[in-house]
Amino acid sequence: MNHLIDLHPEVKEALENNKPVIALESTIISHGMPYPQNVEMATTVENIIREGGAVPATIAIMDGRIKVGLDEESLEKLGNSEGVAKVSRRDLAEVIATKRIGATTVASTMICAEMAGIKFFVTGGIGGVHRGVEETMDISADLDELGKTDVAVICAGAKSILDLDRTMEYLETKGVPVIGYQTEVLPAFFTRTSDIKLNTVTETTDEIASIIKAKHDLGLEGGVVIANPIPEEDELNKDYIDGIVQEAVKEAEENGIGGKDSTPFLLGKIVEKTEGKSLEANIKLVYNNAKVGSQIAVDYFNK
């Protein structure tokens, strides 16, 4: 255990007694959704995980410490404060050293989770290769992290603002298994389907737990992506959302927005253009990932 980590008592007790713990990122709270929906969403996700038999551990940087598991006051502070830093691998040491408030991305949440001994992580969608990468070289640090950090990530695929084909090619190069849960194709965040067929398809959470257990027994480095589609009743029409994504990407290009500012800008524009429908879908898919992720973790610890 790294000396810079503070474990919430609930998380500490679970880890010491070999109970399932689910890591949760905090960028979705500080940069992904407006207040107060962000705090309401975070609290509901934690409750879904508890109801599923696991212990939630929302991760953030506060007072020069890695907080693994947040109390209500810390969640509120994270969701309603100005200037919260978006912290990926590159930023982790700086934000800790300067004692700023920092919200963890997929990459840094994986790092902190592995330090704490947490094997599972629920999020909305992973980052990936951005559209126009041949000119910008904009590739999320999430993909490199998945290639080397041993945490299983339950998500609704990669964010639909990305180049999904190139994202999958990158993951394949890094040797990252992408497991479809009750789907033969990669879900595209706001929609259940894409044109990208998956190599591994499972029907039960127990099958997924068995694959992850075998990976750990083999000592293979890197993470696993569990692609869990948004529930059918909550998905957006594919043509509708694809058109809006294209508009948002064009606006980002025209405004010279890239790097770590790109995703918050694009998601914010999509919320605006869908009149909040995308935010509602985003929240629903996170709840679904929390439910499925909890079951996978419980199945794993029952093996």
Structure tokens at 145: 């992290």
3-state secondary structure of 147: helix
Which residues are 275's β-sheet partners? none
Instruction: Supply 170's token pair.
Output: 């990158």
**Is 197 considered catalytic here?**
no
Active site residue 25: yes
Listed in order, strand segments (DSSP E) in 228-283 are none
- Determine if residue 284 is labeled as part of a ligand binding site: no
Backbone angles phi, psi at 155, to 5 degrees: -150, 175
Q: What is the DSSP string of 96-131?
A: HHTT--EEE-HHHHHHHHHHHT--EEE-S-B--BBT
Catalytic residue chosen out of the listed positions 159, 260, 269, 291: 159
Query: What does the alpha-carbon distance between residue 44 and residue 199 come to, in Å, rounded to a whole number?
Result: 33
140 labeled part of a ligand binding site: yes
Does residue 138 have a known ligand-binding role? yes
| H/E segment holding residue 157 | none
Strand-strand pairing, 21-24 and 200-202: unpaired
Tell me: is residue 106 an annotated ligand-binding position.
yes
Residue 142 is assigned to a ligand binding site: yes
Query: Annotated binding residue at 239?
Result: no
Task: With CA atoms as reference, report the closest residue to 163 among 98, 249, 40.
Answer: 249
Q: Which of 25, 46, 145, 235 is catalytic?
A: 25
Known binding site: residues? 86, 106, 138, 140-142
Known binding site for Mn(2+): residues? 138
Residues annotated catalytic, as ranges: 25, 159
Known binding site for substrate: residues? 86, 106, 140-142
